[in-house]
């Protein structure tokens, strides 16, 4: 049995940076990791990046960057964003690291020696978007079941005998009822296995990217076979002496899309084939949807977690650190467990107001204000209400139970209920009325209020760590460092002088925000109307030949750097150029051969129309246009910036 409490997130594809969907999985597991540390457990919390996929290679090609440089940059971005988002990972593993390659070779060899690997021809379909193999009968209208394009593959490959593990996996699920949660996902897994598990192709013909086989450099490992092994490698497998301290993992977090085919079947089978222990639990949570769809770069509905926090901080006036906490809190309390959850900014702002500003921020403010007003700022020497102690003792048990069961949403609700309980307690006890005469009850109420507030600090600590530390700071008390402290009377030390209240979560004026939104859309409509009128006028002839600014703004002009220039074979006018425009490299065919020597153009900066529809010239693709002036004899003279600019700079 491992000694550490290991928690894993999926490793993310580095074809784009995190969005609030991927941040949800990471945040939920982070709350669990922080909480387990608080209870005194030694935790190994890992995350990382999945870098050997074909879609990663294609994303790098599209961006016009060398693949390694591209993945390095995005893996760095992931780490920066996770740190900003207060993700407390102990290890960040990248599948391009040598330790990972070593682990992949070792597992492959063990499984092969154990007789579960064989060679055969693979013929079927491949979906690059989800990096999944499909057979003809899986397709729906010629596409993958998720609606993605598929490519035909016909290759000699290595296969893993997944079919041998149908019954062993079913038996394991039956014997370990908490192995897969939630229940609805577990049932999906069981019915998937009952349809029969097919052997899985675990290599691909190399396209120049991925982990090459040790004795066949023309082949690379199939990205899912390679990626799953990261969990073992992060625990130090195979060579570190203490890997059994970390593996098997206590919880493996993921979205429902990668549970059934990969984590709940292929992964346990790989572990069984290598005679390694299986993780204790897998959580296949629902998705966060935007506009009814899963968040994805290709759908253009991406919301970045850090941008969301920046925006909240701007419109509400709360500090950036607390705005990050607000995003964390939202994801925790709205956790998609069995079902998907629809994200809207409106809902996010409404929750910020109701839970953080009106409830938690408000109890902190009320408590500090009243301790100052009715007890000269010190916690009175009085008994804490037994009712509050009982209430917290139950909350504490339930909270721990929920986090141990990976129900971060239910734990967050306990915290919120405590804050509601306290607000109601203040209303019912009415310290302002008790203060009218010398009263023992007033002192008890005031100390109980501080006691409750400190327990709220303990309950919010793993979810929104900066909020917890600000509560402690404003009370001028040491922050809670151990779960054992929660519920104890020592949290509200008698005669201690508290600090002054400072607003944490200023309330948003949602009506005003809506009004502004309406007004700006009215303004947009006005401009649109005016533009239409202008177009009409143009028709009258008075503005003939003029375009409005909107039309001009549609043209994306960028500073490009020419990286390659050569004659286009068979053409006496065209040069073939490769121009870097910052986020992409474009092939442009330019009719400037009579004026320019190709070698002299390399390294020159030009102005590129970067969003021109690609066109074919003499059978070659041209993906943009260079701005040029026409001289007297009709030849094109290229326009260059007056000083060296950063490649990709906007031209207006």
Query: What does the binding site for ligand MSP look like in residue numbers (CB under 6 A)?
Result: 10-13, 21-22, 24-25, 50, 227-228, 230, 254-255, 257-258, 287-288, 294-295
DSSP state at residue 198: P
CB of 198 to ligand MSP, least distance (A): 20
CB of 25 to ligand MSP, least distance (A): 5
Q: Quick check: bond before 248 cis, omega within 30?
A: yes
HEC states along 285-302?
Answer: ECCEEECCEECCHHHCCC
Of residues 270 and 475, the one with the C-beta less far from ligand MSP: 270
CB of 332 to ligand MSP, least distance (A): 13
166, 266 in Cβ contact below 8 A? Answer: no
Whole-angstrom distance, CA of residue 578 vs CA of residue 545: 34
Nearest to 9 by CA among 255, 278, 334: 255
HEC states along 380-415?
Answer: CCCCCCHHHHHHHHHHHHHHHHHHHCCCHHHHHHHH
Of residues 48 and 236, the one with the C-beta less far from ligand MSP: 48
Of residues 11 and 107, the one with the C-beta less far from ligand MSP: 11
Of residues 22 and 406, the one with the C-beta less far from ligand MSP: 22
18, 304 in Cβ contact below 8 A? Answer: yes
CB of 53 to ligand MSP, least distance (A): 7
Residue 51 burial by CB count (10 A; 0-12/13-18/19+): exposed, middle or buried? buried
217-221 LR contacts (CB < 8 Å, sep 24+): 219/157, 219/158, 220/52, 221/52, 221/104, 221/108
CB of 459 to ligand MSP, least distance (A): 24
Q: Which two tokens stand for residue 590?
A: 């330019």
Of residues 290 and 608, the one with the C-beta less far from ligand MSP: 290
Of residues 21 and 501, the one with the C-beta less far from ligand MSP: 21
Of residues 33 and 258, the one with the C-beta less far from ligand MSP: 258
Helix, strand, coil: what percent of the chain each, to 5?
A: 45, 20, 35
Of residues 48 and 465, the one with the C-beta less far from ligand MSP: 48
In sequence order, the β-bridge partners of residue 205 are 219
Whole-angstrom distance, CA of residue 389 vs CA of residue 451: 9
Of residues 228 and 333, the one with the C-beta less far from ligand MSP: 228
CB of 490 to ligand MSP, least distance (A): 40
How wide is the angle at C-alpha 352 spanned by C-alphas 349 and 357, nearest 5°?
Answer: 135
CB of 344 to ligand MSP, least distance (A): 14
Residue 153 burial by CB count (10 A; 0-12/13-18/19+): exposed, middle or buried? middle
CB of 514 to ligand MSP, least distance (A): 26
Whole-angstrom distance, CA of residue 36 vs CA of residue 483: 9
Listed in sequence order, the residues at least 6 apart from 424 whose beta carbon sits closer than 8 Å to its beta carbon are: none
Residue 470 burial by CB count (10 A; 0-12/13-18/19+): exposed, middle or buried? buried
Provide the residue count of the chain.
652
CB of 220 to ligand MSP, least distance (A): 16
Q: Which two tokens stand for residue 179?
A: 């192995």
The alpha carbon of residue 467 and the mean position of all alpha carbons in its chain are separated, in whole angstroms, by 21
SS3 label, residue 378: strand
Q: Which two tokens stand for residue 497?
A: 């002088």
In sequence order, the β-bridge partners of residue 617 are 620
CB of 550 to ligand MSP, least distance (A): 33
Whole-angstrom distance, CA of residue 574 vs CA of residue 572: 6
301, 290 in Cβ contact below 8 A? Answer: yes
Owner of token pair 């092994």: 229
CB of 283 to ligand MSP, least distance (A): 10
Of residues 286 and 380, the one with the C-beta less far from ligand MSP: 286
CB of 41 to ligand MSP, least distance (A): 24
Of residues 45 and 421, the one with the C-beta less far from ligand MSP: 45
CB of 310 to ligand MSP, least distance (A): 20
Question: E strands, 307-360, where?
Answer: 341-342
Q: Which two tokens stand for residue 527?
A: 């401009």
Of residues 272 and 480, the one with the C-beta less far from ligand MSP: 272
Nearest residue to the partner ligand MSP, using Cβ: 255
Sign of CA dihedral 574, 580, 585, 586: negative
Of residues 287 and 596, the one with the C-beta less far from ligand MSP: 287
Of residues 10 and 560, the one with the C-beta less far from ligand MSP: 10
What are the angstrom distances between the C-alpha of 165 and each of 186, 228, 258, 284? 17, 17, 19, 21
CB of 447 to ligand MSP, least distance (A): 43
The alpha carbon of residue 647 and the mean position of all alpha carbons in its chain are separated, in whole angstroms, by 29
CB of 521 to ligand MSP, least distance (A): 27
Of residues 223 and 559, the one with the C-beta less far from ligand MSP: 223
473, 499 in Cβ contact below 8 A? Answer: yes
Q: Quick check: bond before 574 cis, omega within 30?
A: no
CB of 485 to ligand MSP, least distance (A): 33
Of residues 234 and 467, the one with the C-beta less far from ligand MSP: 234
């Amino acid at each position: 049995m491992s000694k550490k409490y290991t928690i894993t997130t999926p490793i993310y594809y580095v074809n784009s940076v995190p969005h609030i969907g991927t941040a949800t999985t990471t945040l939920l597991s982070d709350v669990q990791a922080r909480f387990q540390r608080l209870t005194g457990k030694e935790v190994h919390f890992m995350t990382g990046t999945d870098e050997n996929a074909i879609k990663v290679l294609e994303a790098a090609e599209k961006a016009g960057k060398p693949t390694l440089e591209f993945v390095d940059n995005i893996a760095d971005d992931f780490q920066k964003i996770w740190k900003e988002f207060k993700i407390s990972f102990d290890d960040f593993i990248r599948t391009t690291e040598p330790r990972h390659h070593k682990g992949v070779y070792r597992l492959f060899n063990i499984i092969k020696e154990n007789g579960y690997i064989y060679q055969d021809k693979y013929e079927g379909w491949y979906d690059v978007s989800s990096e999944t193999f499909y057979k003809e009968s899986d397709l729906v209208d010629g596409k993958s079941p998720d609606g993605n394009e598929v490519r035909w593959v016909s290759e000699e490959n290595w296969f893993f005998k997944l079919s041998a593990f149908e019954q062993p996996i079913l038996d394991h699920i039956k014997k370990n009822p908490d192995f897969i949660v939630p229940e609805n996902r577990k049932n999906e897994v069981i019915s998937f296995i009952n349809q029969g598990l097919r052997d899985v192709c675990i290599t691909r013909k190399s396209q120049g990217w991925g982990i090459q086989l040790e004795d066949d450099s023309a082949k690379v490992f199939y990205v899912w076979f390679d990626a799953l092994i990261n969990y073992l490698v992060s625990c130090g497998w195979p060579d570190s002496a203490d890997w059994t301290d970390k593996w098997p993992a206590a919880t493996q977090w993921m979205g429902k899309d990668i549970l059934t085919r990969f984590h709940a079947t292929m992964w346990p089978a790989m572990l069984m084939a290598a005679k390694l222990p299986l993780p204790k639990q897998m959580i296949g949570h629902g998705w966060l949807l935007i506009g009814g769809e899963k968040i994805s770069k290709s759908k253009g509905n991406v919301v970045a977690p850090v941008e969301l926090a920046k925006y909240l901080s701007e419109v509400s006036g709360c500090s950036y650190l607390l705005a990050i906490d607000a995003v964390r809190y939202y994801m925790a309390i709205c956790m998609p467990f069995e079902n998907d959850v629809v994200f809207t900014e409106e809902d996010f702002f409404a929750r910020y107001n109701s839970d953080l500003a009106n409830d938690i921020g408000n109890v902190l403010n009320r408590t500090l204000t009243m301790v100052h007003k009715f007890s000269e700022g010190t916690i009175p020497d009085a008994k804490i209400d037994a009712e509050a102690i009982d209430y917290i003792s139950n909350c504490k048990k339930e909270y721990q139970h929920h986090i141990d069961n990976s129900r971060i949403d239910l734990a967050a609700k306990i915290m919120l209920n405590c804050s509601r309980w306290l607000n109601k307690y203040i209303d019912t006890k009415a310290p302002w009325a008790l203060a009218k005469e010398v009263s023992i009850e007033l002192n008890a109420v005031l100390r109980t209020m501080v006691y409750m507030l400190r327990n709220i600090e303990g309950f919010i600590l793993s979810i929104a760590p900066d909020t917890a530390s600000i509560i402690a700071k404003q009370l001028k008390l040491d922050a809670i460092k151990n779960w054992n402290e929660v519920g104890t009377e020592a949290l509200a030390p008698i005669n201690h002088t508290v600090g002054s209240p400072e607003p944490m979560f200023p309330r948003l004026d949602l009506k005003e925000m809506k009004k502004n939104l309406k007004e700006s859309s009215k303004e947009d409509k006005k401009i649109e109307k005016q533009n239409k009128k202008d177009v009409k006028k143009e028709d009258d002839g008075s503005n003939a030949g003029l375009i409005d600014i909107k039309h001009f703004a549609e043209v994306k002009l960028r500073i490009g750097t020419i990286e390659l220039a050569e004659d286009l074979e068979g053409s006496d006018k065209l040069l073939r150029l490769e121009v870097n425009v910052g986020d992409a490299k474009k092939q442009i065919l330019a009719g400037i051969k009579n004026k320019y020597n190709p070698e002299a153009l390399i390294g020159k900066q030009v102005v590129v129309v970067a969003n021109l529809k690609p066109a074919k010239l003499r059978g070659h693709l041209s993906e943009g246009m260079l701005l040029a002036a026409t001289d007297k004899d009709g030849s094109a003279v290229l326009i260059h910036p007056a000083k060296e600019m950063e490649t990709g700079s906007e031209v207006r």
